[in-house]
Chains A and B, each alone.
Chain A
């Protein structure tokens, strides 16, 4: 397919984008599709954010004020589903679309038409998912992990729409991942060996393999649910010979690699930004590649650490505890790598660098609380408390989402040709940084004190920290409107960006003009000197 398109371009004339709305519907251009993904994920980020603010508004004070428990459960479930599958994952796919071809010197993704399909499935999947709010019995209310039998015997009728929405997202992710792998394996410019690829490409390469391996398992588990609900099977029904705990095993076999799917590309982004603003090469490129691969491998053999309290035998608990703790080793390699890159560097603190440094610090905090949760005897106390909520929000919000914001600030001059407003960018950073910590740090305390997660009301002793947390959430939430404003302002104009944009930036994407032309690298670049920092 790629060959056909290349030929067309060589024989015919180079043309720009089509005019009007149809440009976006039929586009096969990796930059257009990247843009679509990024806008879609931002829309979903705001949608999931509104749901989160509903949750925090209810939890501002003890007692039931704003939403009833039935709706509260729908809010937590839909917040999780939309943020994971609608905001974080599509944002990284958007970055992959924009950046991978430009970073490896390819004219486009390998399968441009499939790329278009992968994106356009998503609005329908999430339209269907969101429509469940207006159905009898309401939206999914069984948590984003949709444990059976909550999601089968006790689910609202809308569960069938949820299942099909998950199938559609899965198909979209699998097609997107196949595209990434085929592009990286077959379309690198001559001389761009695997070990010369920028780390963002490497981390996405590994992420794509994770997605290809686990999204079908997710499809399998929701298919089993569908069969239990409608076709009289009993995969998860003990009365019919099934087992609800089986659901958790299959789900977390998907679920644990899934959480690394949401963080590995973030590692790639940060590994691009820190060397640029420290004006040094990355401390250890090879070790970063091997650490990423190790984390990906370990992600497949630790899933039951989410299930310590279901009653697995002692030997199993010990194995999953030690295997989980082992992940701290390659993760530590990465963190020390970033710190060593900054060591004695000529650092400047533009907005992308601020987000990247905050990522390193706050992600490490989230990683350490993860290590605490890995300890089996301690986990029995922490399980299903707000400590878990604090842990995974620390790795996902100032982890994944900060890295996405860092990436947008870092590459937006290349995308639009204009510099963003640095003062506003820094303001956005500090508001977000304060907001995130005020929101999630107190949740460690209330979690250790015993507040369970997924409840609309709580005991009085948790009131103060919940109020603090809610204030932080509203600060963080509304700060993102400033982000929207900065991005729109940057698209409409601003100081012209140079081709290299950042003084210390290295890589093929910085050798092409700003803004990046509609078609780039129609003839492969020859010099690989600039391949990675």
Chain B
């Protein structure tokens, strides 16, 4: 019957839409990451910066950068910036240090996740070296000074006088365990 084949065709098309939309839900994950990387939405900073050309140092401008360190819930480590505030010239390479100490009696692995406010300044903060690029493993009661080397782009908008770079430290010991087992 023609009615039956027409119905089967509609059903096939609709099932195709269902499967497609289920896939689209998952496709939103990489799409979102790409969008955030490109635009700096959510204050996400880009990965390791490799300079393509030497920037002019803006000796006439000073930008204040504030460092924040906080622990995600249930993360027992001691974690703080060694210097809370720096005044830097855009275009110049700077170094800061963060201190971390595993206060527990067990080996743990941590991951720091950065965020910059104001959001539109995120794409002008370039990190040539950062402890957040890799996970940190500390033995029981071990401590560590972690380096951060960054350049504030000389093109940073004039209205940005202060920016805040915040790190949240996550306990990823369990996830790492799952990955290696």
Segment with Cβ contacts to A, from B24-32, B51-59, B91-99, B145-153? B24-32
List 23 A-B residue pairs with CB atoms under 8 Å apart, sorted by A's residue number: A3-B3, A174-B18, A186-B10, A187-B3, A212-B21, A213-B17, A216-B19, A216-B22, A216-B24, A220-B22, A220-B23, A221-B25, A224-B29, A232-B178, A239-B111, A239-B113, A239-B172, A246-B29, A249-B28, A249-B32, A253-B25, A311-B43, A316-B41
Q: B155 on the interface (CB 8 Å rule)?
A: no
What 3 pairs across the A-B complex have the smallest Cβ distances? A239-B170, A220-B25, A216-B22
Q: B15 on the interface (CB 8 Å rule)?
A: yes
User: Do A186 and B21 form a contact, CB below 8 Å, given A311-B42, A311-B43?
Assistant: no
- A residues in contact with B1, CB < 8 Å: 3
- Interface 1/0 per residue, B102-142 and A, CB below 8 Å: 00000000010100000110000000000000000000000
Count of CB-CB pairs between chains A and B under 8 Å: 112
- A residues in contact with B39, CB < 8 Å: 313
Which of B4, B20, B43, B119 is within 8 Å of A3, CB to CB?
A: B4
Which of B4, B17, B32, B171 is within 8 Å of A243, CB to CB?
A: B32
Q: A250 on the interface (CB 8 Å rule)?
A: yes
- B residues in contact with A235, CB < 8 Å: 29
- Interface 1/0 per residue, A1-45 and B, CB below 8 Å: 111000000000000000000000000000000000000000000
B31 → chain A, closest Cβ, in Å? 9
Question: Which of A185, A212, A220 has the largest number of chain B CB atoms within 10 A?
Answer: A220
**Contact B42 A243, beta carbon cutoff 8 Å:** yes
**Contact A246 B28, beta carbon cutoff 8 Å:** yes
Q: A293 on the interface (CB 8 Å rule)?
A: no
Tell me whether chain B's interface is mostly helix, strand or loop, or mixed: helix
> In the complex, what distance in Å separates the CA atom of A281 from the CA atom of B88?
73
Which of A154, A216, A234 is within 8 Å of B21, CB to CB?
A: A216
B137 → chain A, closest Cβ, in Å? 14
Tell me whether chain A's interface is mostly helix, strand or loop, or mixed: helix
Which of B3, B119, B179 is within 8 Å of A232, CB to CB?
A: B179
B residues apposed to A, CB below 8 Å: 1, 3-4, 6-7, 10-11, 14-15, 17-26, 28-29, 32-33, 36, 39, 41-43, 72-73, 111, 113, 119-120, 168, 170-172, 174-175, 178-179
**Contact B26 A224, beta carbon cutoff 8 Å:** yes
Question: Which of B7, B72, B170, B174 has the largest number of chain A CB atoms within 10 A?
Answer: B7
**Contact A181 B32, beta carbon cutoff 8 Å:** no
- A residues in contact with B3, CB < 8 Å: 2-3, 186-187
- A residues in contact with B174, CB < 8 Å: 232
B71 → chain A, closest Cβ, in Å? 11
**Contact B32 A186, beta carbon cutoff 8 Å:** no
> In the complex, what distance in Å separates the CA atom of A213 from the CA atom of B11?
14
Closest to B74 in A: A153
**Contact B15 A178, beta carbon cutoff 8 Å:** yes
Question: Interface size of A by Cβ–Cβ distance < 8 Å?
Answer: 44
User: Do A2 and B4 form a contact, CB below 8 Å, given A185-B10, A186-B10?
Assistant: yes
- B residues in contact with A2, CB < 8 Å: 3-4, 7
Which of A216, A219, A245 is within 8 Å of B42, CB to CB?
A: A245
Chain A residues numbered 182-222 whose CB sits less than 8 Å from any CB in chain B: 182, 185-187, 212-221
Q: A378 on the interface (CB 8 Å rule)?
A: no
Closest to B7 in A: A186
> In the complex, what distance in Å separates the CA atom of A232 from the CA atom of B172?
10
Q: A240 on the interface (CB 8 Å rule)?
A: yes
Closest to B24 in A: A217
- B residues in contact with A311, CB < 8 Å: 42-43, 119
> In the complex, what distance in Å separates the CA atom of A219 from the CA atom of B6?
28
User: Do A313 and B4 form a contact, CB below 8 Å, given A232-B178, A250-B28?
Assistant: no
Chain A residues numbered 225-257 whose CB sits less than 8 Å from any CB in chain B: 232, 234-235, 237-240, 243, 245-246, 249-250, 253-254
> In the complex, what distance in Å separates the CA atom of A246 from the CA atom of B25?
11
**Contact B18 A212, beta carbon cutoff 8 Å:** yes
Chain A residues numbered 286-323 whose CB sits less than 8 Å from any CB in chain B: 311-313, 316
Q: A272 on the interface (CB 8 Å rule)?
A: no
**Contact B41 A313, beta carbon cutoff 8 Å:** yes
Closest to A217 in B: B25
Closest to A174 in B: B18
**Contact B26 A220, beta carbon cutoff 8 Å:** yes
Q: A110 on the interface (CB 8 Å rule)?
A: yes
A252 → chain B, closest Cβ, in Å? 11
Which of B26, B28, B41, B172 is within 8 Å of A312, CB to CB?
A: B41
Closest to A185 in B: B10
> In the complex, what distance in Å separates the CA atom of A246 from the CA atom of B17?
23
